[in-house]
Chain A
Amino acid sequence: MSAKLPKPEELARYDFAPPADGWMNKPTQIREGMYLNPSAPEKMEYLGMPNPRRWSPQDEDWKLPDNWQEIIYEGIRERLDKYRSFRLFMDICVRCGACADKCHFFLGSGDPKNMPVLRAELLRAVYRKNFTLAGKIMGKMVGGRELTMDVIKEWFYYFFQCTECRRCSVFCPYGIDTAEITIIGRELLNLLGINVHWILNSVADCQRTGNHLGLQPHALMDDMEYVLEEIEDICGRKIDPPFNRKGAEILFIIPSGDFHADPGIYTLMGYLLLFDYLDLDYTFSTYASEGGNFGLFTSHEMMKRLNFKMYHEAKRLGSKWILGGECGHMWRVVQQYMDTHNGPADFLETPVSPITGTRFEHAKSTSMIHICEFTADLIKHGKLKLDPRRNDNYRVTFHDSCNPARAMGMLEEPRYILNHVCNQFTDMPENTIREQTFCCGSGAGLGATEDMELRMRGGFPRANAVKHVAENNGVNTLSCICAIDRAVFPDLMKYWVPGTKVCGVHELVGNALVFDDGFEREMDLRGEELPETDDEPETGEPAKEDA
């Protein structure tokens, strides 16, 4: 049973002042509402992970293997030799504190161990004590710390209070990236069998069925059926999207959440309408039916296992290149890991838009491009007839998802699209967007229900910026390009900025897209009435300055 979520005004009773006593002195209190439930042993068994058992973070005894300390030491030693990032980031932090108030979890909780520097120090202190000469000799004097069970519990608590969003690494003078620390911290915990259900359940389902939701082919088609009926009702288009079609030029992969749940399905409707409009030669896959990769939140190896399906399926189907949907951490994996893990994809080609002829040279090795890159190119070339007035009920702002922003730098493409598909777009304040964007607070596998307080705290800086544009610019819609965002923002907005809708960018594209079929749309993709317009739709040709 999860803890009762405090009201916003109760939750807001905190400040940034740390306790007087030193941080190494007291064991961490593991508080309800701030952590996730442990993984079910059968999922761990399915994945071949160590120490499957039932346990609770509230238990005194976590039922770890007897030699747990040696396992951790060996795990650290191995990773120090495999990752320069890890070794370097253990060594060079000067504790200048520039990162301290950059973390959304710190900003939303005031808990000093959520300062990125201190989150890393939890691991660094053990490293210093056991792996550095000074630490071995002088121990506490040089910031060393014994590895005790309390330390392991603290690691669990705080490495699952980090969304690997990398905002702190933007501000660090040495580029120290807490995501590297957290990823490795979680890997170490995995070695002892400490992991959370919300992540491992998705990982196990993805490994087995092909997607995080565990949708088997017939269930996936059922979900699709529902979406197609909605499209027919609203847009009068009968669409029959291809699945597992061999020889399709493009393999299209989206996060599975968008097959299944509101508001993600509206984004899927946008994709389907766009491809129907273009008569695109593409296919979905029921096997590679997941863009996201919760393996990233488990270990580098698990990420590779889940990611394997993408290239494997593209090869089997004989596709030329892969198009990826709107998803955050999916794009971290695609941009920074996929080719290294599972490449070279020499059976694929440099992506070329069949509509505009644009060659996407920047993706010539992975052969995978983002749907926003694809659509921005279409709009730029005047290939889409758009009526942005159909989105006039939406006063839109845009949330840069952490990974497309800080692992790719895809900042302009979605904004370019938004500026062409809706008339009222306002950015949030500059230190809350683009490379400085604030996380939704529920990424990296933290989007469960039992940790709702944690999510509301971590999402507070983002919500605070939305509130700013809601109050000053009348914004009522938060658009994003991430399925986790779409899944978690509705809760966050209801809590902090009630009345704010959440949508994907391609939902708005779907709304604005004008087919020459004479069908008079009366509703948008959510089934809500379109705003009044009295004249002919605009052609949506690109504005002059773009031509």
Chain B
Amino acid sequence: MSTFLSLGTALVAIIVLTLIGYLGAGVAGLHTLFGVVIPYAAIVLFLAGFVWRIVRWMKTPVPFNIPTTCGQQQSLDWIKPNKIENPQSKFDVVIRMAMEILFFRSLFRNTSADLKEGPKLVYGSSKYLWAAGLAFHYTFLVIFLRHLRFFLEPSPVFVHWMEVLDGFFQVGVPIVFISDVIIVGAVTYLFLRRVVAPQIRYISLPADYFPLLLILGIALSGVLMRYFMKVDLVAVKELTLGLVTFSPVVPDSIGSIFYIHVLFVSVLFAYFPFSKLMHLGGVFLSPTRNMQANSRAFRHINPWNPEVEVHTYKEWEEEFGDKLKQVGIPLDSEE
């Protein structure tokens, strides 16, 4: 698929979603559909899909011990092993996985290669992807947690403190959240990178542009709501609390921007289990990262260890016995 088509498909999908939200909730006033039915359906799809995918992966066996070792092995006691990059114990694996999941350790290694006259290859450090990726994921998490104030009454203390920290610079009224600025910047970077960098553009599918644009849509509609097209927060909380207590109410006074926001979020949830976004769950299961690199010390079991046709010594000696005799090696069959 060409870039034009890939990007076009994703863009059209976002525009259509926006229109559906605007026309459906804003013009036709289908507030129950967009405020209750769709969010519920999305959550059900998300939970069921997510569990289904994880269970499916977990039910698939790991026949071999195949960690990628990225550091010195444990061998002779005077050579210092790298226990994180070449984990021996379960504890080492936990540390390795924590480094991957919390800090994107492997992505941090990223380099970029350049081909110069000669020919000559030179490598430079390349941390932008790592930085943008990390910034995006953490701000997403912060924003997700901040939203707990809409779903819990009273809202938890840590959420309050997050808001205080997030609004540390005390700019604007209402105070601008740093996370809002960062997430829009990071997602924009990740999106532009796909469009601008020729190799990344070449590999990008609609399924790569779509979630980025969708998340950008979520962030921007949220920003619009908070800072510019203010909505009735009391009414919003009435609706969101109704959702979590399974006694949904649909107040009239919420603007259509809210429903567009909720539609985007719902689509993200529903889309999640059927897409690459499942890397959230998959990263925990990756056998090259989450296994102990100790297969010479402890036998790894393959549950379907195949029966294969082998060439035993006896058969081999039958074929090459005379050659063995020729060079004076005694035969088993003549012992």
- A residues lining the B interface (CB < 8 Å): 8, 12, 14-25, 48, 80-85, 87-88, 91-98, 100-102, 107, 110, 112, 115, 117-118, 121, 132-134, 140-143, 166, 169-177, 180, 207-210, 216-218, 221, 243-244, 286-287, 300-302, 304-305, 308-309, 312-313, 316, 334-337, 339-341, 343-344, 358, 360-366, 368, 373, 376-377, 380, 405-413, 416, 429, 431-432, 435-436, 460-461, 464, 467, 546
Mark out the residues of chain B between 99 and 149 whose CB falls within 8 Å of any chain A CB in the assembled complex.
Answer: 100, 104, 106-107, 109-113, 115, 118-121, 123, 129, 133
Give bound CA distance, A334 to B295, whole Å: 9
Which residues of A are found within 8 Å of B208, using beta-carbon distances?
Answer: 94-95
Which residues of A are found within 8 Å of B62, using beta-carbon distances?
Answer: 83-85
Which residues of A are found within 8 Å of B278, using beta-carbon distances?
Answer: 91-92
Give bound CA distance, A411 to B70, whole Å: 10
Which residues of A are found within 8 Å of B306, using beta-carbon distances?
Answer: 300-301, 304
Is residue B276 within 8 Å, beta carbon to beta carbon, of the partner chain? yes
| A262 CB → nearest B CB, Å | 23
Contact among A17, A209, A361, A435 with B69 in the assembled complex (CB-CB below 8 Å)? A435
- Closest B residue, CB atoms, query A12: B119
Is residue B320 within 8 Å, beta carbon to beta carbon, of the partner chain? yes
28 sample A-B contacts, Cβ–Cβ < 8 Å, listed by A number: A12-B118, A22-B202, A91-B282, A92-B278, A94-B208, A95-B204, A100-B200, A102-B111, A170-B106, A171-B109, A173-B107, A174-B282, A174-B286, A175-B287, A218-B323, A287-B313, A309-B311, A336-B64, A340-B64, A344-B299, A364-B296, A365-B296, A380-B78, A408-B293, A409-B86, A410-B72, A460-B121, A467-B120
| B95 CB → nearest A CB, Å | 15
Which residues of B are found within 8 Å of A221, using beta-carbon distances?
Answer: 327
Asked if B329 and A97 make an inter-chain contact with CB atoms under 8 angstroms apart, the answer reads no
Give bound CA distance, A286 to B327, whole Å: 11
Residue among B3, B68, B73 with most chain A CB within 10 A: B68
| B243 CB → nearest A CB, Å | 27
Asked if A94 and B109 make an inter-chain contact with CB atoms under 8 angstroms apart, the answer reads no
Which residues of A are found within 8 Å of B66, using beta-carbon distances?
Answer: 85, 177, 180, 336, 407
Asked if A358 and B76 make an inter-chain contact with CB atoms under 8 angstroms apart, the answer reads yes
With A15-B115, A84-B287, A142-B207 known as contacts, the answer to whether A97 contacts B72 (CB < 8 A) is no
With A88-B282, A143-B206 known as contacts, the answer to whether A366 contacts B296 (CB < 8 A) is yes
Contact among A308, A313, A358, A373 with B308 in the assembled complex (CB-CB below 8 Å)? A308
| A376 CB → nearest B CB, Å | 6
Interface string of B293-335 (1 = CB under 8 A from A): 1111111111011101111110011011001101101101000
Is residue B174 within 8 Å, beta carbon to beta carbon, of the partner chain? no
Contact among B81, B199, B326 with A18 in the assembled complex (CB-CB below 8 Å)? B199
Contact among A82, A166, A334, A431 with B61 in the assembled complex (CB-CB below 8 Å)? A82
Asked if A83 and B75 make an inter-chain contact with CB atoms under 8 angstroms apart, the answer reads no
With A96-B133, A409-B72 known as contacts, the answer to whether A175 contacts B289 (CB < 8 A) is yes
Asked if A217 and B76 make an inter-chain contact with CB atoms under 8 angstroms apart, the answer reads no
The 9 closest A-B pairs by CB, nearest first: A92-B282, A409-B73, A409-B69, A12-B119, A175-B288, A18-B202, A175-B289, A143-B205, A409-B86
Give bound CA distance, A95 to B79, whole Å: 37
Which residues of A are found within 8 Å of B276, using beta-carbon distances?
Answer: 91-95
Residue among B53, B73, B111, B275 with most chain A CB within 10 A: B73
Asked if B288 and A98 make an inter-chain contact with CB atoms under 8 angstroms apart, the answer reads no
Give bound CA distance, A312 to B332, whole Å: 14
Asked if A362 and B297 make an inter-chain contact with CB atoms under 8 angstroms apart, the answer reads yes
